[in-house]
Homo-oligomer: A and B are copies of this chain.
Amino acid sequence: MRIVVLAGGIGGARFLRGLKQAAPEADITVIGNTGDDIHLFGLKVCPDLDTVMYTLGGGINEEQGWGRTDESFRVKEELAAYGVGPEWFGLGDRDFATHIVRTQMLSAGYPLSAVTEALCTRWNPGVRLLPMSDDRVETHVAVELDGERKVIHFQEYWVKLRASLPADAVVPVGADQAKPAPGVLEAIAAADVILFPPSNPVVSVGTILAVPGIREAIAEAGVPVVGLSPIVGDAPVRGMADKVLAAVGVEATAEAVARHYGSGLLDGWLVDTVDAGAVAGVEDAGIRCRAVPLMMTDLDATAEMARQALALALEVRA
């Protein structure tokens, strides 16, 4: 079975770990969000790709869900001693090495997809990890800051400001000019199932879908497309998805997110059991819906979510 998964960072990575357990024989291609990418200290940082790579490769800091296990911050401390920031982005020493290798390869002319493949030869994530695009895309957020409308990098909004201000707009800058990375459209065309993990529907899955060609390829693939709600009980399971949903005029509910993706894209949708009341509304929108436990409390629970998603895909196809 060939499965394509559109993934953001922590939520996507943890779901993938469950999916690998649920479908150990499957051939899984992950299309990773690169809209979170940021240049820091002259280095190219790809937080979502790295979170997937570290999580599936056994290098993740389990507790925080991002960054490396057993991490230290000596480089960052020294940079701060030089007065060079930002200090709000937590780049650890081990993590720095990844960005140094990536930046060196990019400078040598390799596209991000080739660099990601090279990094994965170390991590052996057990999936094929593709960036959504080799072209630069950067999600920017419009906010009101000190009485002025300002457009800031997504990471500044998310990490520095902890999404504490309402977002007026979320724009994946460069997405409209970006091309899907080599292999992305081919993987979608060859897929048996396409899954949207409980990743952020705006700044993770939404950004991937903003790359021209990807949404169309998924809609036209003729295979089941099943998503898992990142909203449980009208609140994001983790992260601050409600803040960026508001910016695109979508309520933070399991049903509203399903309708946001729409039946043109989505064939099936899993909501949490606490949102069982939303099933009828989602099905009214033309999307098959089931209520199952959606909290990724441990690997077994996550694997069961993946099984349910694959079961719904089978049901949709039948």
Contact = CB atoms under 8 A, between A and B. Distances in A.
Given A41-B104, A96-B96, A100-B43, A122 B75 contact: no
B82 A96 contact: no
Interface string A86-104: 0000000110111011011
Interface string A250-281: 00000000000000000000000000000000
B100 A41 contact: yes
Number of copies: 2
A75 B104 contact: no
A266 B82 CA distance: 39
A184 to B, nearest CB: 24
Contacts of A96: 75, 78, 96
Interface in A235-253: none
Contacts of A79: 97, 100-101
State the main secondary structure of chain A at its contact with B. helix
Contact of A82 (B82, B101, B107): B101
Interface of A: 41-43, 72, 74-79, 81-84, 93-94, 96-98, 100-101, 103-104, 107, 119, 122
B94 A75 contact: yes
A119 B74 contact: no
Contact of A107 (B42, B75, B101): B42
A198 to B, nearest CB: 30
Contacts of A42: 100, 103-104, 107
A101 B78 CA distance: 10
Contacts of A81: 97, 122
A119 B41 contact: no
Contacts of A100: 41-43, 75, 79, 84
Nearest to A122: B82
Contacts of A103: 42
A78 B104 contact: no
A103 B41 CA distance: 9
A195 to B, nearest CB: 30
A215 to B, nearest CB: 34
